[in-house]
C-alpha cells in the first residue's frame, strides 16, 4: 500500500494559553483511503496537560468575573467567525472522519450554532433568586462556575459533541481544556484555535493525544473540577474511577443500544421506513443514539422487513467527498474489525444476514474501511447483535406478538440512552414511551436532530450520568450556592455568646 501525504499542513497542536507548542506527532489517516495521511496530531504528555490545566486555572478568575452577558458577547463574536469556516472545515472533517459531506457540514456548523444558542441563555445566570425573605433573614440562591473543565471528545461527531460540552461551560464562567480524539482531531483543532483567539488567554486550551496519557492525565489532574466525557460505557467507567481521586463533578454520555418499537397501531409507510433507515445508517451507524435494534409487531413484520430491505438497498457506499455517496466508511480499523467480526459471528450462529446497498467504486472499496449496510433477521432475541452496541451499519429486526414483551425486550439491556415508539395512536405511543427505561424516547422519529439542543439529553443505567443540552447543561456546569443573610439570630439553636444555651 502506497502512503501519500496531504501537501497542505493540517496539524492539531497542543494549545496552551493561546500558544501552540511543538510536540511529537502521529499521523491522521483518511478512512476512505488507508494510505492517505490527512495531517498530524500532537501527542500531548502529562506535562503538557499540566501546563494546559494550570493556564486554564490562572484564567478562571478573570473569565468568571466578566459576568454572563459579557461572556455571551464574546461567544457570539466567535460564533460569527466560525460560521464562515464551515464549508472548508467540513471537507477536512470528511477526510479525517469519513462521514458524507452533508453530515460533516452539520457537525462543523454545530460550533457556531451551539455557541449562539448558549449565548442566548445568559439571562439564566443573571443574578441570584430570593428563596426566602422576612424580617429575620434573606436567602439568596445562585449558581457559580466550578473552575477548570475537562472535555474529552469522541471521533464520531467531534465538533458538535465538543461544543455541547464547552459552550455551556464557557457561558457559565468556567475555563476549558479539551482532549480531542486521535482519530478526528484536525477540523476540531482548527475550530478550537479560532475560538481560543477570540477569548481571553487561557480560557480555551487543547491537548490532543491518546486517552491513555493525555485523557487520563486530564481526568486525574487535581485542578480540574469538572469532566465532560462522551464515549463508550467501558471507558466511562475508567473516567469515573479516575475522577474520584479528588471528587470531581462528572457528566458522562456513554454508549447506547437504542430500540425502536413498531407497534401494531403503526402504519408501514414509505416515510416510516425511510426514517428508520436514516436512524440506523446515519454516520455509518456510528451515532450513540442511532437505532440499534428494531422490534416490529408480527402483523406488520413481513411488510416492514421487505420494505426496509428495499430502502436500505438504495444506499450508496463510497468516499464521503463524492456527492453520489450516501454513506461513508467506518472511521478506524478497530471499529471496522469489531463490526465485521460481529456480522461474521451472527451469520455463523444461523441468523439470516442480508448484505444490501451498492459500492460506488468497487475497485477501490478495499482501500478504505467501507462496509455495505446489513439487515439481520431470524435471530435469537438474546443474540450478541441484539444485546451489544454494534456502532456500525448493521441492524437486527425482530418480531413480537405482545406489547408488554416488546417493552421488556427493549429494557433488557445495560443501556438506556435513546429509544423510539412508532404508532398512529400518539396517546398510546406516549403511554408505551413512559415504560421504556431510556433518557430520551422519540415518537415516530429516531435520528440525529430528534434530540434538539434545548432538550435535556443523557442516559439511564450504563448509558451515562447527568444531563446535557439546554438549561440542564448550564446546571451541570455550575454549583448551586446559598447565601443566608441573617439579621436576627435569636431563637437559633446552639449556645449563646457566653456559652449559655439559648
* Given the residues 36, 40, 96, 253, the one annotated as active site: 253
Residue 388, judged by CB atoms within 10 A of its CB (0-12, 13-18, 19+), counts as middle
Largest CA distance in the chain: 91
Find, among 286, 258, 304, the residue nearest to 421 by Cα.
258
Q: How far apart are CA 281 and CA 279, in angstroms?
A: 6
Specify whether 103 is catalytic. Answer: no
**8 A C-beta contact, residue 38 and residue 95:** yes
Contacts of 339 (CB under 8 A, 6+ apart): 285, 330, 371, 390, 391, 392, 393, 394
Question: What values do phi and psi take at 286, rounded to 5?
Answer: -100, 60
Q: How far apart are CA 413 and CA 75, in angstroms?
A: 40
For 395, other C-beta atoms within 10 Å of its C-beta total: 26
What SS3 class is residue 86?
Answer: helix
**8 A C-beta contact, residue 384 and residue 347:** no
CB environment 338-360: b (16+ within 10 A), e (fewer): bbbebbeebeeeebebbebbeeb
Cell of 404: 408488554
Residue 176's region, left for phi above 0, alpha for psi from -120 to 50, else beta, is beta
Q: How far apart are CA 48 and CA 477, in angstroms?
A: 24
Strand-pair category, 440-443 with 418-422: parallel
Residue 392: C-alpha distances to residues 215, 301, 379 (Å)? 25, 23, 18
Element (H, E) at 169: helix 158-171
Q: Which residues pair with 483 in a beta bridge?
A: 140
Element (H, E) at 354: strand 352-355
* Lookup result for grid cell 444555651: 501
Element (H, E) at 112: helix 101-119
Residue 283: C-alpha distances to residues 109, 161, 206 (Å)? 16, 14, 25
Positions marked catalytic:
253
Amino acid at each position: 500500500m502506497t502512503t501519500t501525504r496531504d501537501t497542505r499542513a493540517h496539524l492539531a497542536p497542543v494549545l496552551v494559553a493561546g500558544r501552540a507548542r511543538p510536540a511529537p506527532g502521529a499521523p491522521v489517516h483518511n478512512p476512505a483511503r488507508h494510505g492517505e495521511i490527512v495531517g498530524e496530531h500532537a501527542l500531548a504528555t502529562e506535562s503538557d496537560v499540566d501546563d494546559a490545566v494550570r493556564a486554564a486555572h490562572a484564567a478562571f478568575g478573570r473569565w468568571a468575573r466578566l459576568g454572563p452577558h459579557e461572556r455571551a458577547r464574546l461567544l457570539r463574536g466567535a460564533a460569527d467567525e466560525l460560521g464562515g469556516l464551515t464549508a472548508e472545515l467540513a471537507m477536512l472533517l470528511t477526510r479525517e472522519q469519513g462521514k458524507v459531506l452533508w453530515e460533516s457540514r452539520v457537525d462543523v456548523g454545530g460550533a457556531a450554532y451551539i455557541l449562539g444558542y448558549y449565548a442566548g441563555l445568559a439571562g439564566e445566570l443573571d443574578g441570584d433568586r430570593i428563596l426566602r425573605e422576612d424580617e429575620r433573614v434573606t436567602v439568596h440562591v445562585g449558581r457559580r462556575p466550578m473552575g477548570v473543565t475537562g472535555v474529552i471528545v469522541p471521533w464520531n461527531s467531534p465538533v458538535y459533541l465538543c461544543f455541547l460540552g464547552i459552550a455551556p461551560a464557557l457561558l457559565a464562567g468556567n475555563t476549558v481544556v479539551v482532549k480531542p480524539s486521535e482519530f478526528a482531531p484536525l477540523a476540531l483543532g482548527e475550530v478550537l484555535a479560532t475560538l481560543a483567539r477570540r477569548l481571553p488567554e487561557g480560557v480555551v486550551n487543547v491537548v490532543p493525544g491518546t486517552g491513555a496519557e493525555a485523557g487520563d492525565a486530564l481526568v486525574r489532574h487535581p485542578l480540574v473540577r469538572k469532566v465532560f466525557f462522551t464515549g463508550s460505557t467501558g471507558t466511562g467507567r475508567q473516567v469515573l474511577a479516575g475522577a474520584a481521586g479528588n471528587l470531581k463533578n462528572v457528566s458522562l454520555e456513554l454508549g447506547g443500544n437504542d430500540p425502536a418499537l413498531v407497534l401494531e397501531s403503526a402504519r408501514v409507510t414509505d416515510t416510516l421506513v425511510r426514517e428508520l433507515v436514516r436512524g440506523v445508517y446515519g454516520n455509518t451507524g456510528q451515532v450513540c443514539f442511532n437505532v440499534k435494534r428494531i422490534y416490529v409487531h408480527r402483523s406488520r413484520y413481513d411488510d416492514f422487513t421487505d420494505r426496509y430491505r428495499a430502502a436500505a438497498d438504495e444506499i450508496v457506499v463510497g468516499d464521503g467527498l463524492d456527492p453520489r455517496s450516501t454513506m461513508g466508511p467506518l472511521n478506524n480499523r478497530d471499529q471496522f474489525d469489531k463490526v465485521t467480526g460481529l456480522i461474521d459471528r451472527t451469520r455463523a450462529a444461523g441468523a439470516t444476514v442480508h448484505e444490501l446497498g451498492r459500492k460506488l467504486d468497487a475497485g477501490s472499496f478495499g482501500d478504505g474501511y467501507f462496509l455495505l449496510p446489513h439487515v439481520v433477521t431470524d435471530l435469537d432475541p438474546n443474540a450478541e447483535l441484539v444485546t451489544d452496541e454494534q456502532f456500525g451499519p448493521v441492524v437486527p429486526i425482530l418480531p413480537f406478538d405482545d406489547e408488554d414483551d416488546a417493552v421488556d425486550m427493549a429494557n433488557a439491556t445495560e443501556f438506556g440512552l435513546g429509544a423510539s415508539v412508532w404508532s398512529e395512536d400518539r396517546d398510546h405511543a406516549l403511554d408505551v414511551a413512559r415504560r421504556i427505561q431510556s433518557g430520551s424516547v422519540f415518537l415516530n422519529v429516531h435520528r440525529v436532530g430528534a434530540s434538539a439542543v434545548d432538550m435535556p439529553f443523557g442516559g439511564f443505567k450504563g448509558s451515562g450520568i447527568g444531563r446535557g443540552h439546554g438549561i440542564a447543561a448550564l446546571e451541570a456546569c455550575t454549583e448551586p450556592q446559598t447565601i443566608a443573610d441573617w439579621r436576627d439570630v435569636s431563637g437559633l439553636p446552639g449556645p449563646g455568646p457566653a456559652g449559655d444555651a439559648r
